[in-house]
Structure 1
Amino acid sequence: MGLDYYPYRYVQKIEEPWDGPQGFLLYKLLYSFKSTKTHQTYWVWVEVYKEHFYAVKFHLKSHRDSDKKYNVMTGLNEPRQCIQTCMKIMLEVAAKDDKSSFGFIGANSIGESELETKRFRVYSRYMQTFFNSENYTHHYNLAKSAYLLINKKEMEKNPQLITDIVNGFKELYPYFD
């Protein structure tokens, strides 16, 4: 089963002082792709954390200045290709870093609770389909619509890996308390 994705490009690496405890969030990678269907441009952010953990986020470029950029439904009816483009980027990251683990939040739409959001349900189906359980263990927090793909080899080396990642996020983002 192949991925039906849009052509994308790496834009830049962003290193700046971050809020919160120093050192857990290392830097961000920005990718961009343009929909061949709607001709809209999307930005994909890959946040790089300690423990070879990568959080993936995407939004319309035109929403970049909005506080709700991850909550707005675009109405463009192209989630499959957008999600699969993000997954292709994840696979590229995994090919470069064989210790990589991944995560995401299925952001709640405006007016939707954070519990097992529509986005979470869709994204998690893709993860279970395209990231096999031979290489990754799948963990989630339904209350926060958070999903973790943890590298099995790294988990064998560090049985506390999930705890280390979760604690890092709790320190950095009050959202996880």
Structure 2
Amino acid sequence: MKLTSTGYSLKFIQTHPSCNWHEKRYVYKFFSIKTKLHYIVYADYHDHDFIAVKFYAKKDRKSNRKYSNIINKGDVSNILITCAKCIPELLKIYPTASFGFIGARTIDTKSDKVEGYKANQRFRLYKYHIPQLIGDKTFLHKSFPNASSYIMLNKNNIDLAKTEKQIREMICNTYPDLLNMQF
């Protein structure tokens, strides 16, 4: 399915200072007219010039499973397009930054579904849609199904193999659920 949506208006809210997991967090928000929900987007700037893009429905903000909850209202393309709108803005600040999306496994209490970590539904959506949104002029696209991770390595980095290795190690240290997977 070719993406034809344009997404929604993404509004920058604020930055958060460093913590144990990242050096800086950029916070954005948007409203989906289809789901009638507000969404929060985090762009977490990590070591090695890597930014992890995360999002969740604002109604789930206090949930430990906010990244795993299913909305299932058919607006995934607009939501992904809107989340990706932060990338060009962040490239102005960090011109050699690489970006990534880690697919949180689905935990749906209504259908009693708990998805595995490998090649999960969110990862499959990222792997399919992100290359359509963001081409290969600036980024080398890499997918890691065993860790449900999708990374875009910035081609402005001199040593892409070294950059990839550093980012993979940082992701495994930051997201311990991935440690037991072949990444």
Which amino acid letter does the alignment assign opposite residue 174 of structure 2? L
Shift in Å, 1:43: 0.2
Q: CA deviation at 1:130?
A: 2.3
Kindly state the Cα deviation for residue 94 of structure 1 after the two structures are TM-superposed: 2.2
Secondary structure in 1 aligned to 2:146?
Answer: coil
1:153 corresponds to: 156
The residue aligned with 2:102 is 105
- Partners of 1:84 and 1:131 in 2: how far apart? 10
- Which of residues 111, 124, 127 in structure 2 aligns to 1:124? 127
Q: Secondary structure of the residue that 1:56 maps to in structure 2?
A: strand
Q: Say if 1:98 and 1:63 are closer, same or farther in 2 by CA, change over 3 A.
A: same
Tell me which stretches of 4 or more aligned residues in structure 1 moved more than 3 Å: none
Partner of 2:88: 91
Listed one character per residue, the Cα deviations across residues 14-46 of structure 1 (whole Å, up to 9, x for unaligned) are: 114326xxxxx2011110001123331100010
Distance 1:175 1:70, change over 3 A: same
Aligned counterparts of 2:117 and 2:47: Cα–Cα separation in 1? 26
Q: CA RMSD in A?
A: 1.9
Aligned to 1:18: 20
Cα contact 1:3–1:88 (8 A) shared by 2: no
The Cα of 1:3 is off from its aligned counterpart by: 5.6
Percentage of pairs with the same residue: 26
What TM-score do you get using the length of structure 1 for normalisation?
0.88
Partner of 2:145: 142
3-state secondary structure, aligned to 1:147 = strand
Contact 2:32 2:38 in 1 (8 A): yes
Query: Relative to structure 2, which stretch is displaced further, 55-64 or 158-167?
Result: 158-167
List gaps (5 residues or longer) in structure 2. 108-113
Distance in 2 separating the partners of 1:2 and 1:74 = 21
Unaligned runs of at least 5 residues, structure 1: 20-24
Q: Does 1:74 align with 2:71?
A: yes
Q: What code does the residue aligned with 1:7 have? A: S
Q: How many residues are paired up?
A: 171
From 58, 62, 76, give the equivalent of 2:59. 62
